[in-house]
Amino acid sequence: MKLSILFAALLSSLVSAQLSGTVGPSTTTAHKAATKVCNILSYGGVASKTTDNGPAIASAWAACASGGEVYIPAGDYGLSTFVTLTGGTAVSINLDGVIYRTGSTASGNMIFIEHTTDFEFYSSTSAGAIQGYGYTFHAAGTYGPRILRLYEVVNFSVHDIALVDSPAFHFTMDTCSNGEVYNMIIRGGNEGGLDGIDIWGTNIWVHDVEVTNKDECVTVKSPASYMLIESIYCNWSGGSAIGSLGADTDIHHITYNHVYTQNSNQMMLIKSNGGSGSVYSCQFNNFMGHSNAYTLDIDGYWSSETTAAGNGVLFHDLSFSHWHGTCANGGTRAPIQALCPSGAPCYNIDIEAFYIWTEAGSEVLYKCENAYGAGGCVKTATASSYTAWAITTKTVTSVPVASYSATTMAADLTAGFALTASIAIPTVPSSFYPGLAPLSAKLG
């Protein structure tokens, strides 16, 4: 075994503690490009913001889908016809240019990739971007297409690309597996319904991603297992979440680590209302941030969700460790909420090294209900049966013993992006958590 391969194997076994196997494409982009390159300019594409490059992208994909690289060179490309790229094997898309939405179809996905294996979507210069011009919908109070959706994609990566101002969700991975997503920046308008990354499936590593919007930052939905989500920067967002959860929830072995969140609705929200099934064996470590409304929030009665049939989703074996920083007003919005369903009291909820103080006032509240475990206001279980109990509020009036102060990121956003004006395309940043470099170097 070559030393570099040995190191790569060692590295992947280290990072994969929470994953269930190898992630990423099976063959390199160099190997794919050596097989065949399908430059969209050779398939009818024109580097013009006003030309519809949808048919050219679809033709280039068809020509390279069984092995090769679809190449979108540096330049501006209009996209009026949204594309569904299906059935690829050993195929990559190198987006060095910028795609601009010109089509006005108010639904679907600008780019939809499905039933594909050994796939890589990236920018070799880290300058590739997709501009959704969502503001043209949002200014009128409506939503349009999503930017990017992957469905049943296996052994893949998406990296070094900016997704900007989606008319709806930015990036959804539905029933995908063995994926890696990294070195990405997502900038959306300041309202709900413009999710950053939503994922369900198995064995996916998301790292080094920055999201600005006012809804999901990086959120896991059901069913999901073996996901590692780390070095996430929610730079004025809704915050990250698991949910919304309803009937037959099946989520386990999810790890969030090194999540920096500022001016968001929460640092982490696990949300359900009624429903059934469970969320278990998950860890939430090294969260840092400031100026968020909620912080650690398990809400089994989430009021924004219609009550689903069932006794409630069961949460168990969830641990939260090393949370630092401040919340906006801990006396009105408790930085610890563990509100579990009475029909399914949660257990082994362990909260330790939780150092969150308040920016306004001089106390913080912890609110718990039907919750067993340790730390915060959860009850220590004395029996093997977990019975329901009513909500209790604990008031904390002194600054946590250890330092609660969090390092802030340089130039944290101080306002959300407007809904009525175009959002500029940002560059992919070179840090996503205070003091940490990206786990993989940026390509550009």
Residue 390 interacts with ligand NAG (CB under 6 A)?
Answer: no
Q: Per the residue annotation, which of 165, 208, 215, 297 is the catalytic one?
A: 215
- Stretch 223-242: interaction string toward ligand NAG, x if CB under 6 A: ------------x-------
Residue 182: CB minimum distance to ligand NAG, A: 15
Integer-rounded Cα Rg, in Å, for the chain is 22
309 or 411: CB nearest ligand NAG: 411
The reply to whether 290 belongs to the active site is yes
DSSP state of 259: E
Q: Which range touches ligand NAG (CB under 6 A), out of 5-13, 222-230, 247-255, 403-411?
A: 403-411
Residue 411 interacts with ligand NAG (CB under 6 A)?
Answer: yes
The reply to whether 299 belongs to the active site is no
Q: Which range touches ligand NAG (CB under 6 A), out of 74-82, 298-306, 375-383, 404-412?
A: 404-412
Residue 154 interacts with ligand NAG (CB under 6 A)?
Answer: yes
Q: Which range touches ligand NAG (CB under 6 A), out of 30-38, 331-339, 397-405, 409-417?
A: 409-417
The whole-angstrom separation of Cα 367 and Cα 388 is 15
Tokens of 414: 């101080």
53 or 326: CB nearest ligand NAG: 326
348 or 422: CB nearest ligand NAG: 422
Residue 429 interacts with ligand NAG (CB under 6 A)?
Answer: yes
Residue 159: CB minimum distance to ligand NAG, A: 17
Residue 160: CB minimum distance to ligand NAG, A: 15
Tokens of 420: 């009525």
235 or 249: CB nearest ligand NAG: 235
Torsion of CA 373, 379, 383, 384, to 10 degrees: -40
117 or 131: CB nearest ligand NAG: 117
Q: What length does the chain have? A: 444
Amino acid at residue number 256: Y
Residue 26 interacts with ligand NAG (CB under 6 A)?
Answer: yes
256: nearest Cα among 300, 191, 318, 341: 318
Residue 415 interacts with ligand NAG (CB under 6 A)?
Answer: no
89 or 102: CB nearest ligand NAG: 89
Total residues interacting with ligand NAG, rule: CB under 6 A: 15
Residue 118: CB minimum distance to ligand NAG, A: 6
Amino acid at residue number 387: T
Q: Per the residue annotation, which of 290, 297, 299, 316 is the catalytic one?
A: 290
Q: H or E segment at 9?
A: helix 3-15
**Residue 123 in contact with residue 443, Cβ under 8 Å?**
yes
CB neighbour burial string for 5-44, b if at least 16 within 10 angstroms, e if fewer: eeeeeeebeebbebbeeebbbbbebebbbeeebbbbbebe
Residue 368 interacts with ligand NAG (CB under 6 A)?
Answer: no
DSSP 213-240: SSSEEEEEEEEEEEEEEEEEEEESSSEE
The whole-angstrom separation of Cα 314 and Cα 280 is 8
DSSP state of 169: -
Residue 25: CB minimum distance to ligand NAG, A: 9
Residue 426: CB minimum distance to ligand NAG, A: 6
Q: Which of 161, 409, 423, 428 binds ligand NAG (CB under 6 A)?
A: 409
Q: Which of 117, 131, 203, 265 binds ligand NAG (CB under 6 A)?
A: 117
**Residue 338 in contact with residue 346, Cβ under 8 Å?**
yes
106 or 424: CB nearest ligand NAG: 424
Residue 22 interacts with ligand NAG (CB under 6 A)?
Answer: yes
Residue 155 interacts with ligand NAG (CB under 6 A)?
Answer: yes
- Stretch 178-197: interaction string toward ligand NAG, x if CB under 6 A: x-------------------
CB neighbour burial string for 90-101, b if at least 16 within 10 angstroms, e if fewer: bbbbbbbbbbbb
Residue 127: CB minimum distance to ligand NAG, A: 16
Let me know if 105 is exposed, middle or buried by CB neighbors in 10 A (0-12, 13-18, 19+): middle
Contacts of 440 (CB under 8 A, 6+ apart): 159, 182, 183, 207, 208
Q: How many CB atoms lie within 10 A of CB 49?
A: 16
Catalytic center residues: 215, 290
Q: Which residues bind ligand NAG (CB under 6 A)?
A: 22, 26, 117-118, 154-155, 178, 210, 235, 409-413, 429
